[in-house]
Amino acid sequence: MEIAMIGTGYVGLVTGTCFAESGNQVTCVDIDQSKIDRLKRGEIPIYEPGLTELVQRNSKAGRLIFTSSTVDAVSNAKIVYLAVGTPQSDDGSANLSALWNVVAGIAPYIDDDTIIVTKSTVPVGTNQGIYERLFAANQKYYRVASNPEFLKEGAAINDFMYPDRVVVGTRESETAEVLKELYSPFLRTDKPFLNMSPESAELTKYVANALLATKISFINEMANLCEAMSGDINDVRRGIGHDQRIGFAFLFPGVGYGGSCFPKDVRALAAMARNNDLPPTILDAVDEVNNSQKNVLMKKIERHYGGNLAGMRIAVWGLAFKPKTDDIREAPAIVLIKQLLQMGANVVVFDPEAMENVREEELGDSVDYAEQAMDALEGAHALAINTEWDMFRHPDFDEMKRKMKTPVIFDGRNLYDPKVMREQGFTYYSIGRPPTVSETLVEA
């Protein structure tokens, strides 16, 4: 099929590339000419495992084209996907200004048999709003569908190629059949194609993310309770996770969620509830717990050092909000770094993918950027871990102790066994577990 993908951000680029990989002719559009030029050269502006190879292969085959011309992209397209950003407004609701600009821009160039599909995360009623704006522009009846995405950063290619389900919202059975055919290569293992109303599809995306965020905030709140009462959250997590009604997914304690989806979508869903005179009690609590959890490592550091961090050198491993991405939007690490700087500490950071994005934050001269993880530990009074990159899971502890001024670790992702850390001679703080004081320090 001829597909136009408006927007080459994370969702648009992954979606367009995967559609091209399944044999469709895809033209991706973006108003940022520099981004288009980079994509034409095979340079990917985001880090996502496997994406570079797919873009380069399909571009070479001629199935994936990049342009800044909306006219060229949509004029012959059977399906036009809208995948532009919907950032958070001041009141928490989604800002649809970019989406409405795109709708106005494509209106003169689409036929009435063109299917317009919203891939952006949008509030309920947006599908109807797109239809009304297109009809007002051309006095024609258009087929407008919703097709929310459920991609995890760091695993987006696999999520798209092997989805748990495909959700679409349509008002015409013919539109649903076209989209079902488009997705058929990815549903060969009998995963469901769920057709529903556009309003239900729009809600499904928000509700899914809000529920996952709720699980994270819940386990983090329980972790703090475990720690206060000398329990171990990992034991509790196993105790509840084997209950088939609960399961283990998204029940790993940490320093809070970040990224471009969960924070924004929880607040947007809460805003929708308030606009309908419904108090979003749980959603507000989820957001509040998560914001508080981002302070948990700083509180541990302050308690350990008695609030005196002036001149201390603190190493930070992990800057992205999760592994296998370079995304630092609402990342807990950035919150921690700013707090450390406010307390007068010097900070040295390392992340295998997100370093350049953090440099662009311009955090100041008191932040150093290490070439390797071990380099960050040279002369450090402590190490704070924020992201569970695999490369951090099995470090050389002897080398760490040689490099560090004092062997103290604040682990925001529970990467290590407290017993092992004690034996290795580290003072070790984690999430939801009692702190461990090294045998060396105890003997001293």
Q: What is the CA radius of gyration of the chain?
A: 24
The string of DSSP codes covering 34-81 is: HHHHHHHTT--SS--TTHHHHHHHHHHTTSEEEES-HHHHHTT-SEEE
Contact 153, 322 (CB under 8 A): yes
| Closest alpha carbon to 328 in 140, 94, 106, 47 | 47
For helices 198-228 and 233-241, angle between their N-to-C axes, nearest 10 degrees = 140
Query: How many whole angstroms separate alpha carbon 242 and alpha carbon 138?
Result: 56
| Closest alpha carbon to 321 in 301, 351, 278, 344 | 351
Contacts of 381 (CB under 8 A, 6+ apart): 312, 313, 314, 404, 405, 406, 408
Contact 411, 431 (CB under 8 A): yes
Please identify which of the residues 18, 28, 226, 261 carries the catalytic annotation: 261
Contact 399, 374 (CB under 8 A): yes
Q: Is 261 a catalytic residue?
A: yes
CA 130, 132, 136, 141 torsion-angle sign: positive
Query: How many whole angstroms separate alpha carbon 219 and alpha carbon 357?
Result: 29
Contact 210, 192 (CB under 8 A): no
Query: How many whole angstroms separate alpha carbon 320 and alpha carbon 325?
Result: 7
Both structure tokens of 299: 């509180």
The residues assigned a catalytic role are: 261
